């Protein structure tokens, strides 16, 4: 167990913010591949198969020393690989990958060796010796590998991953603004808990590992957060902690529905038989919150056609519409989830959370 003392005014945790990180999400997804080897649990099962095929076609291989790092502490990673995410500009995806990679390249070799010594107090496993021997070269290797891995394994899922992460951030930010940091921390999923002014990460071997006090806290939503107990503390007293974000069901099933148009419904496809092919595709596309234009681009349909379907689905109570900043998002409502569960056995979806205003 890792304990992070929280200090600061009020609730005892000081300023709290929520920030996505493409680097943390990418490393968490690599942890899924490294840990399960073909047996990833739902909702990662389909993504794992597709990612392995894509990585093989692209001739992309995870560095062996990185795989061993995941094995040493059950999915956790040393903090030199996890720079604390900075706030993202409004017009960018959460996390700046260029800035993150620059931070990785700049990690001093002495810090890498010091953390590895703490990571393996009983002796360094053979698989980590290349990293220990030449940290600068291995981190440069990682910075070259990560963009190629992301394009092959996560690039096809970029839009749904982004929307699901943004949705989770908006939901948590609402809790933080209306109910305070105590309720926000109490609602975290994954291996995170809180007792008094101590944040606990239930990771690693038995016993307790204390880290420096933190005056500020950054929560990092990860759709691959299950089994990814990441944390980092920077020299300025900011602690970053990953948690399991809602919406990982976007990884279930195909990223892009088959591009068939017209004709009879696929044999045995109850959803297409009931709704028709294009409307069934729209329902399947609403597993994650999305906009009319993005859904139209994803399905290869005219925006006017998608808009017509969405209007009908909202009127029927199958989908719901809400505004998020300047965007209007659509997603399945309770009856839509039930419809998909009963008529589309290939995918499972979570019940939508109740909206409160």
52 belongs to a structural domain: yes
Pair (54, 202) in one structural domain:
yes
Band of the pLDDT at 337, cuts 50, 70, 90?
confident
Band of the pLDDT at 145, cuts 50, 70, 90?
very high
Pair (143, 273) in one structural domain:
no
Are 48 and 58 in contact by the 8 Å Cβ rule? The answer is no
Could you tell me the CATH number of the domain that includes residue 336?
1.10.10.10
355 belongs to a structural domain: no
Pair (298, 339) in one structural domain:
yes
351 belongs to a structural domain: no
349 belongs to a structural domain: no
| Region for 196 from its dihedrals, namely left if φ exceeds 0, alpha if ψ lies in -120 to 50, beta otherwise | left
Task: Find, among 103, 36, 95, the residue nearest to 218 by Cα.
Answer: 95
Are 347 and 340 in contact by the 8 Å Cβ rule? The answer is yes
Task: Find, among 238, 245, 242, the residue nearest to 201 by Cα.
Answer: 242
Pair (299, 209) in one structural domain:
no
* Domain ranges, residue 19: 2-249
- The number of distinct structural domains making up the chain is 2
Pair (218, 274) in one structural domain:
no
353 belongs to a structural domain: no
Tell me the average pLDDT across 28-49.
Answer: 84
Last residue of a domain, one of 206, 225, 249: 249
Pair (15, 149) in one structural domain:
yes
What residues have CB less than 8 Å from 113, skipping those under 6 apart? Answer: 132, 135
Tell me the average pLDDT across 44-66.
Answer: 92
Provide φ and ψ at 276, rounded to 5°: 95, 160
Pair (168, 312) in one structural domain:
no
Band of the pLDDT at 143, cuts 50, 70, 90?
very high
Q: Give tens-digit pLDDT for 121-130.
A: 888 999 999 9
């Amino acid at each position: 167990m890792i304990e992070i003392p929280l200090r600061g005014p009020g609730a005892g945790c000081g300023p709290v913010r929520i920030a996505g990180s493409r680097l943390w999400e990418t490393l968490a997804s690599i942890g899924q591949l490294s840990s399960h080897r073909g047996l990833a649990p739902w909702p990662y099962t389909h993504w794992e198969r597709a990612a392995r095929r894509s990585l093989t076609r692209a001739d992309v291989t995870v560095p062996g020393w990185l795989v061993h790092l995941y094995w040493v502490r059950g999915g956790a990673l040393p903090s030199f690989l996890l720079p604390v995410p900075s706030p993202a500009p409004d017009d960018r995806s959460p996390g700046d990958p260029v800035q993150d990679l620059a931070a990785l390249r700049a990690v001093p070799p002495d810090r890498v060796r010091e953390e590895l010594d703490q990571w393996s107090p009983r002796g360094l496993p053979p698989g980590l010796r290349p990293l220990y021997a030449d940290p600068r070269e291995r981190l440069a290797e990682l910075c070259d590998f990560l963009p190629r891995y992301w394009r092959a394994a996560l690039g096809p899922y970029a839009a749904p991953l982004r929307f699901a992460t943004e949705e989770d951030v908006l939901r948590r930010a609402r809790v933080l603004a209306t109910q305070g940091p105590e309720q926000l921390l109490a609602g975290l999923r994954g291996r995170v808990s809180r007792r008094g002014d101590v944040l606990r990460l239930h990771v690693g071997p038995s016993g307790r590992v204390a880290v420096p006090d933190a005056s500020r806290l950054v929560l990092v939503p990860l759709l691959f957060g299950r089994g990814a107990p990441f944390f980092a503390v920077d020299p300025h007293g900011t602690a970053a902690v990953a948690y399991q974000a809602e919406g990982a069901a976007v990884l279930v099933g195909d990223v892009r529905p088959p591009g068939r148009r017209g004709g009879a419904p696929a044999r045995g496809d109850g959803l297409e038989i009931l709704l028709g092919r294009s409307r069934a595709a729209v329902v399947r596309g609403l597993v994650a919150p999305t906009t009319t234009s993005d859904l139209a681009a994803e399905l290869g349909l005219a925006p006017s056609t998608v808009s017509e379907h969405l209007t009908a689905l909202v009127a029927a109570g199958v989908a719901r519409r809400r505004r998020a900043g300047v965007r209007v998002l659509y997603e399945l409502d309770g009856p839509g989830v039930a419809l998909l569960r009963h008529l589309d056995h290939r995918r499972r979806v979570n019940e939508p959370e109740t909206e409160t205003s």
